[in-house]
Structure 1
Amino acid sequence: MQITPLTWILTIAVTILFFVYEFFVHVRKPHEPTIGESARWSVFYISLALLFGVGIGVVSGWTFGGEYFAGYLTEKALSIDNLFVFLLVMSAFAVPKAYQQKVLMIGIVIALILRGGFIAIGATLIENLSWIFYLFGALLLFLAYRQAFSSHETDPANNRFMRFVRRHLSVTDEYHGDRLTVKKNGKRFVTPMLLTIVAIGFIDLIFAVDSIPAIYGLTNEAYIVFTANAFALMGLRQLFFLIGGLLQRLVYLSQGLAVILAFIGVKLVFHALHVNELTFINGGEPLLWVPEIPISFSLLFIGATIAVATVASLLKTRKDRPDADTPPAIDPSIKKEYSN
């Protein structure tokens, strides 16, 4: 896939413009979005992402188009999992609904910046170190295990990291609009709003470790990795307000993501064996008999796993809810080790 520097510059510039537009048109003035507003913009961003994937397929071939769609699906699912934890953080800090848009927007921008950095690092490692696929594969298998079985009950507002932050900053007990700092009696204080953003930024760092090796297991093209991540994060703010209580009903999403991460981990290990250069494995020769999992199968597997996890979650919560008007508690499995 031939991507010129000009294409990179234009892609990054357009991405930045989208987020600038989002901030000044939708986020700058605090308000709680309506369902209609959230639905329209969610459809717009998802449609834009799908059209971009079709464009990649038409211009560069459907192998790359398939890699983009597989990556986009994976990153979108991981981003929705991100929303679970954002919900926990904002609940723990009791963020007023009118200011949640700003918290989400800043959190999403931090996520994009961090993932951009990891994408650059990942591309450099892959280009220079073929054995890095072994490391990425092992990391994804570990993350899959943690995703499936971690169930630590934690308070995002009172974990070790946030206690460390509080020890070094003077914090007010109340919100002052959407301000991050406030001056009282001649002394500068930070507000709970800033603490919420710090907590979300820390969580974004953890999620970047999950998402970048996962998508590099589906494509080696840094451009596809970046655009799939960018489109997965675009519209995430609107999706949060659109699906609202539905987030709490996706109780099997963590297990579905664990299956996807494990699958990509195995795919990476197979690829590493197929291009092996480590002398202590087969004398440094590639194991050509090891199968390469085609991207078409990867796309089908990821889509089917997300669908099964979603349907199973909705069926279970519908069956278990004693009162249709009473939302279920958030599944403990989403309270992972991000507070450790």
Structure 2
Amino acid sequence: MDVPVVVWVLTVCGIIALLVFDFVFHVRKAHIPALREAALWSAVYVGIAVVFGAGVWVFAGATTGTEYFASYVTEKALSVDNLFVFLIIMTSFKVPRADQQKVLLFGIVVSLVARTGFILLGAALINSFAWVFYLFGLILLVTAGTLSKPAASENRSADTVTIRLVKRLFRTSADYDGDKLFTVRDGVRVMTPMLLVMVAIGGTDLLFALDSIPAIFGLTQNVYIVFTATVFSLLGLRQLYFLIDGLLDRLVYLTYGLAAILGFIGVKLILHALHENNVPFINDGQPVRVVEISTGLSLSVILGVLVATIVASLVSPKGKAQNAVSAARRHAIEYLDVETDPATREKIFDRLLAEEEQIRTLPEKYRARIREQDRLMALLDRAHAEHEFAMAD
């Protein structure tokens, strides 16, 4: 598909306009999005992506349209998995919930810039070296193997090398000053944790791009489709975070589903590389006759795996147990150390009570699997003591 320059310009301008609109009307004034607001705007952004895809289908043909939707669904699924890490980072940095929107929007912008760079680099490599498909396929297979390990999602941490380096080189404060990036402490200008968490989110986005870009090039080599599918998968991610926040820990099998999808695309890339082979030590530099996986089959497999893993997660007793425990731990920390608004803290405590009741009704085999159970119980006791003290005032 040969895309005119004017279409590129209009597309980029439209994306910038959506980001500016999001900041001015939703993020600039710190607030906690209501469920209705998050659901409405999530639907709007998904609708924009679907309408755009329908336009691609009409004007560029069914094959290109299928490539777009396969790429969009894959990138959207990877973006949802990224939300797990964002949740860990913002919990670790104790970001007030009202300020999380700004952090997420910053992360989205950084991700857009980084992935655009990786897309251009990937396209240049593909045009110059056919063997790059082998490399991309290998990256995806290694990533799939890593994700398939049971402890993969539990080993994620916000304490990155980047953050440790920033803390060592620059003065940082322990406390937030609203949503300011810098503040003055004892007459000295210092970084606030808000800037540190943005650095953590931005650094994490760079790592995510190393997996997502090879994945999408495995579905299409059309740079315009790669770019737009990636962008539309990221737009609306902020709203989606607040919409499915309570379900993130429930999706216990999503990581395995993504591992299967990335492994599938990795195999697809290697088959394509064999079909286009010019590497001297493989079949004497001649193409290898192999079966290539069609885009239509790719879309069917991706959708099938995602639906199966999401349904399995939602009906899984293990998922319900993990969700209750993780949510209780997170809400206790928010109540004790993060939120200061009395009304917000009361809502958090009500949710905490409901999650504690869920934990008490868990079968013994699931309660026995709670990580650091003594620390969790101590945390919950502290929250109850703090609530009793607050009610006595």
Q: Which residue of 2 aligns with 1:186?
A: 187
Q: Which runs of 5+ in 1 are unaligned?
A: 333-340
- Provide the rounded CA distance (Å) in 2 between the counterparts of 1:263 and 1:177: 45
Read off the aligned partner of 2:55 and give its amino acid letter: G
Q: Secondary structure of the equivalent of 1:149?
A: coil
Q: Which residue of 2 aligns with 1:102?
A: 102
Q: CA RMSD in A?
A: 2.0
Q: 1:315 to 1:274 in 2, by over 3 A?
A: same
Q: Which residue of 1 aligns with 2:93?
A: 93
Query: Which whole-Å deviations, capped at 9, do the CAs of 1:3-33 have from their partners, x for residues lacking one?
Result: 0111111111111110011001100000000
Read off the aligned partner of 2:123 and give its amino acid letter: A
Q: Which residue of 2 aligns with 1:127?
A: 127
How is 1:1-340 mapped onto 2 (pairs within 5 angstroms)?
Answer: 1-149=1-149, 151=151, 153-154=154-155, 156-287=157-288, 289-317=289-317, 321=321, 325-326=354-355
- Provide the rounded CA distance (Å) in 1 between the counterparts of 2:11 and 2:222: 15
Q: Which runs of 5+ in 2 are unaligned?
A: 325-353, 360-365, 372-393
The offset of 1:188, in angstroms, is 1.1
The offset of 1:162, in angstroms, is 1.9
Q: 1:157 to 1:209 in 2, by over 3 A?
A: closer
- Provide the rounded CA distance (Å) in 2 between the counterparts of 1:59 and 1:47: 18
Any conservation in 1 of the 2:136–2:269 contact (CA below 8 Å)?
Answer: yes
Q: 1:319 to 1:161 in 2, by over 3 A?
A: closer
Q: Secondary structure of the equivalent of 2:256?
A: helix
Q: TM-score, structure 2 length as denominator?
A: 0.81
The offset of 1:150, in angstroms, is 6.5
Any conservation in 2 of the 1:140–1:265 contact (CA below 8 Å)?
Answer: yes
Read off the aligned partner of 1:89 and give its amino acid letter: I
Q: 1:174 to 1:224 in 2, by over 3 A?
A: same
- Provide the rounded CA distance (Å) in 1 between the counterparts of 2:79 and 2:299: 17
Read off the aligned partner of 2:212 and give its amino acid letter: S
Read off the aligned partner of 2:42 and give its amino acid letter: S
Aligned-pair identity in percent equals 50
Q: Secondary structure of the equivalent of 2:190?
A: strand
Read off the aligned partner of 1:187 and give its amino acid letter: V
Q: TM-score, structure 1 length as denominator?
A: 0.93
Any conservation in 1 of the 2:177–2:192 contact (CA below 8 Å)?
Answer: yes
Query: Which whole-Å deviations, capped at 9, do the CAs of 1:248-288 have from their partners, x for residues lacking one?
Result: 1001111100000000000000000001111111111111x
The offset of 1:103, in angstroms, is 0.5
Specify which structure has the bigger relative contact order, considering alpha-carbon pairs within 8 angstroms and separated by 6 or more residues. Answer: 1
Q: Secondary structure of the equivalent of 1:41?
A: helix
The offset of 1:161, in angstroms, is 3.1
Q: 1:16 to 1:283 in 2, by over 3 A?
A: same
Query: Which whole-Å deviations, capped at 9, do the CAs of 1:135-161 have from their partners, x for residues lacking one?
Result: 111111011111111626557343433
Any conservation in 2 of the 1:56–1:65 contact (CA below 8 Å)?
Answer: yes
- Provide the rounded CA distance (Å) in 2 between the counterparts of 1:63 and 1:150: 36
Any conservation in 2 of the 1:78–1:211 contact (CA below 8 Å)?
Answer: yes
- Provide the rounded CA distance (Å) in 2 between the counterparts of 1:316 and 1:155: 23
Q: Secondary structure of the equivalent of 1:95?
A: coil
- Provide the rounded CA distance (Å) in 1 between the counterparts of 2:79 and 2:50: 17
Q: 1:68 to 1:145 in 2, by over 3 A?
A: same
Q: Secondary structure of the equivalent of 1:321?
A: helix
The offset of 1:322, in angstroms, is 9.5
Any conservation in 2 of the 1:92–1:155 contact (CA below 8 Å)?
Answer: no
Any conservation in 2 of the 1:68–1:228 contact (CA below 8 Å)?
Answer: yes
- Provide the rounded CA distance (Å) in 2 between the counterparts of 1:90 and 1:74: 25
Q: Secondary structure of the equivalent of 1:189?
A: strand
Q: Higher mean Cα deviation, 317-326 or 277-286?
A: 317-326
Any conservation in 2 of the 1:181–1:188 contact (CA below 8 Å)?
Answer: yes
The offset of 1:320, in angstroms, is 5.0
- Provide the rounded CA distance (Å) in 2 between the counterparts of 1:19 and 1:300: 31
Query: Which whole-Å deviations, capped at 9, do the CAs of 1:199-255 have from their partners, x for residues lacking one?
Result: 001100000001000000000001000100111011110111111111110011111
- Provide the rounded CA distance (Å) in 1 between the counterparts of 2:236 and 2:206: 20
Any conservation in 1 of the 2:249–2:322 contact (CA below 8 Å)?
Answer: no
- Provide the rounded CA distance (Å) in 1 between the counterparts of 2:323 and 2:172: 40
Q: 1:319 to 1:180 in 2, by over 3 A?
A: closer
Read off the aligned partner of 1:180 and give its amino acid letter: L
- Provide the rounded CA distance (Å) in 1 between the counterparts of 2:143 and 2:318: 29
The offset of 1:295, in angstroms, is 0.5
